[in-house]
Amino acid sequence: MVIIQLKPHNLTSMANINIDAAKASTYDVIVIGSGISGGWAAKEFTEKGLKTLVLERGRDVQHIKDYPTTNKYPFEFEHRGELSLAVKTENPIVSRCYAFKEDAMHFMVKDKEHPYVQEKPFDWIRGYQVGGKSLLWARQTQRWSDFDFEGPQRDEFAVDWPIRYKDIAPWYSYVEKFAGISGNNDGLPELPDGEFLPAYPLNAAEDYFRKVMKDKYRNRHVISARCAHLSKPQQVHFDQGRAKCQNRTLCQRGCPFGGYFSSNASTLPWAARTGKLTLQPDAVVESILYDHQKGKATGVRVVNRLTKEVREYFAKVIFVNAGALNTNLILLNSRSERFPQGLGNDNGLMGKYVAFHNYSARITAEYDGLKQFATDGRNPAGGGYIPRFRNVLQQETNFKRGYAAGLYASRYMYRDDSAIGTTLKNNLLKGELGPWIVSSHMMGETIPKESNYVNLSSRKDDWGVPLLNIAIEYDQNDALMKQDYISQLTEMFSEAGFKKITPNTNSQNPGLDIHEMGGVRMGHDPQTSLLNQWNQLHACKNVFVTDGGCMTSTSTQNPSLTYMALTARAADYAVKALSKGELT
């Protein structure tokens, strides 16, 4: 063994090396996760001149370059776009998700790659890569209204939201203009209007249904789905390098036009252009570091996904945007003498009151009318949207809250494929359009409950991080809501003269609804909530949660637009607080 006697000047240079190393790992802001909300945090902070490190556990996915299937023809896929039996058998959980098909499965976590513990059955659908699930989402984007923010207080569940619509409305406008949202100003108080690009119109059958609903009901509206697609790009979208959506509806493969909003096409390259962004893929955040003396978080501990090397990074502000359940995991795993139950978890409520959406009912029917019309081309927005109409102004049913519904109609080509040889060939050339097939799916609000929770299991993953234990289930309220959806939609379809109405209430595990929320909820009171009105941990003010983890309740609207708006709002607050010296 060689013993080196350190002379004073050696000690000084070692100290310098340490200082230099710490400096090289120090940023103004650390953002954990590069998905929809993390991308927005990156954009906001870098635009405002802050040196920002984005840590992403998954691999890098660069816009266009890393969309390997985007221009493939159906016949270029080995299984014509479907899943092979081997893939299904290997992946019983994720293959239950409609998006897990041959063309997009490289953007989704396979069952064996990242196990978790199902205390109760839960299909956890994830995308671990730069861009997160922003590459996969269905891009439905609706604002919340005060019927949603006031919901818990009015209907006596969860805790009161510390914000109201007026607090977030300007931020909805802000993110809508940049992301590009198609839609109409429909003038409905329960679904506030926004800064819209032209809507994708309803087709003949959807529009017919809209008219019938308007005639027969006071409060049941069918509107064009509001969707994060560039139907008519503006200068700000061209500046992002994005172009008009071409209505290909192959979005889940990644869009080479940047026709829909994703972190990869929009916020991350925008942030990179400022020169202030460091994006670190393959960086699994294990925990957030807390300094008891300073009374604040100082940085994060990261395990390299490929080498397993452990590193620490430091910053004045930390935004946790790992996707709702993973954000819970990271915070629960950030234990210190001051926070033995997880960072900011003084009241023991972290990981509890997790809620989601109830997508477990569908209904289809046939319509024989309007045969003179068919669809030509594709609608990337998906079709129509029926905003919540139950219990809006007052309680009118035996369950709390309500549901929105999707609505789409199409005609399919029918061909006789029963023969063989030349007859088959000739029959296949003679397709005939069938009747309109009309479908709807339910998007129900669920009630956050203490008994729906996540916590840390004693088992660890390959990076030494505890596996997440998930105990979440539907309840009686969800069952009653589902019955009501089926009976109301049956009635509405009957009013429109639709036939062969077929409800589908096949049971599915929670999780497939893909909108997990809560566990680190916002609220007024540190005794009953984890975050304040600015998404700051009550007990550790330089840590912010602006993904689904922060949600106090779930509403019926798709959630991601609200995460974007909350993120931009919280980042603006954090920058101002930093400049006033409040977070240092």
Q: Footprint of ligand SF4 on this chain (CB under 6 A)?
A: 229, 245-251, 255, 257, 259-260, 380
**Binder among 33, 254, 383, 523 for ligand FAD (CB under 6 A):** 33
Partner whose footprint covers residue 260, from ligand SF4, ligand FAD, none (CB < 5 to 8 Å by kind): ligand SF4
Alpha helices in 217-323 (DSSP H): 235-239, 268-273
**Binder among 30, 31, 32, 512 for ligand FAD (CB under 6 A):** 32
Nearest to 396 by CA among 503, 494, 489, 484: 484
β-strands 499-504, 453-460 pairing: unpaired
The interface with ligand FAD within residues 83-112 (CB under 6 A) comprises 99
Partner whose footprint covers residue 264, from ligand FAD, ligand SF4, none (CB < 5 to 8 Å by kind): none
Q: Which two tokens stand for residue 168?
A: 């977030």
Cα–Cα distances (Å) from 217 to 280, 309, 406, 493, 496, in that order, read: 53, 62, 18, 13, 12
Partner whose footprint covers residue 410, from ligand FAD, ligand SF4, none (CB < 5 to 8 Å by kind): none
**Binder among 192, 258, 406, 559 for ligand FAD (CB under 6 A):** 559
**Binding to ligand FAD by residue 35, rule CB under 6 A?**
yes
The interface with ligand FAD within residues 486-515 (CB under 6 A) comprises 514-515
Nearest to 401 by CA among 176, 156, 115, 96: 156
End-to-end CA distance of the chain: 44
Shortest Å, Cβ 112 to ligand SF4: 29
Name the packing angle between helices 560-579 and 36-47 (round to 10°): 30
Shortest Å, Cβ 137 to ligand SF4: 11
Cα–Cα distances (Å) from 313 to 29, 350, 581, in that order, read: 10, 24, 21
The interface with ligand FAD within residues 257-276 (CB under 6 A) comprises none
C-beta of 142 vs 240, nearer to ligand FAD = 142
**Binding to ligand FAD by residue 440, rule CB under 6 A?**
no
Q: Which two tokens stand for residue 349?
A: 């409520």
Residue type, 322: A
Please state, in angstroms and rounded to a whole number, the distance separating the CA atoms of residues 272 and 575. 19
**Binder among 91, 134, 145, 267 for ligand FAD (CB under 6 A):** 134
Binding mask 302-341 for ligand FAD (x = CB under 6 A): -------------------xxx--x---x-----------
**Binding to ligand FAD by residue 355, rule CB under 6 A?**
no
Shortest Å, Cβ 62 to ligand SF4: 16
**Binding to ligand FAD by residue 124, rule CB under 6 A?**
no
Q: Which two tokens stand for residue 535?
A: 């998404």
C-beta of 387 vs 435, nearer to ligand FAD = 387
Can you give the length of the chain in residues?
A: 584
Helix, strand or coil for residue 170? Answer: helix
Shortest Å, Cβ 319 to ligand FAD: 10
**Binding to ligand FAD by residue 205, rule CB under 6 A?**
no
**Binding to ligand FAD by residue 139, rule CB under 6 A?**
yes
Please state, in angstroms and rounded to a whole number, the distance separating the CA atoms of residues 35 and 186. 30
Q: What are phi and psi of 61, to 5 degrees?
A: -130, 110
**Binding to ligand FAD by residue 132, rule CB under 6 A?**
yes
Partner whose footprint covers residue 249, from ligand FAD, ligand SF4, none (CB < 5 to 8 Å by kind): ligand SF4
Which stretch of DSSP H or E encloses residue 515? Answer: none
Exposure string for 481-509, b = 16+ CB within 10 A, e = fewer: bbbbbbebbbebbeebebeebebeeeebb
224 contacts: CB under 8 Å, gap ≥ 6: 182, 183, 184, 199, 200, 201, 202, 381, 384, 385
Exposure string for 193-219, b = 16+ CB within 10 A, e = fewer: ebbbbebbebbbbbbbbbebbeeeeee
Partner whose footprint covers residue 33, from ligand SF4, ligand FAD, none (CB < 5 to 8 Å by kind): ligand FAD
Cα–Cα distances (Å) from 2 to 6, 10, 12, in that order, read: 12, 16, 21
β-strands 296-304, 536-537 pairing: unpaired
C-beta of 212 vs 545, nearer to ligand FAD = 545
Binding mask 44-83 for ligand FAD (x = CB under 6 A): -----------xxxx-------------------------
Shortest Å, Cβ 127 to ligand FAD: 6
Q: Which residue is nearest to ligand SF4 (CB)?
A: 259
Residue type, 149: F
* Sites of contact with ligand FAD (CB under 6 A): 32-38, 55-58, 99, 125, 127-129, 132-134, 136-140, 283-285, 321-323, 326, 330, 514-515, 547-548, 558-560, 563
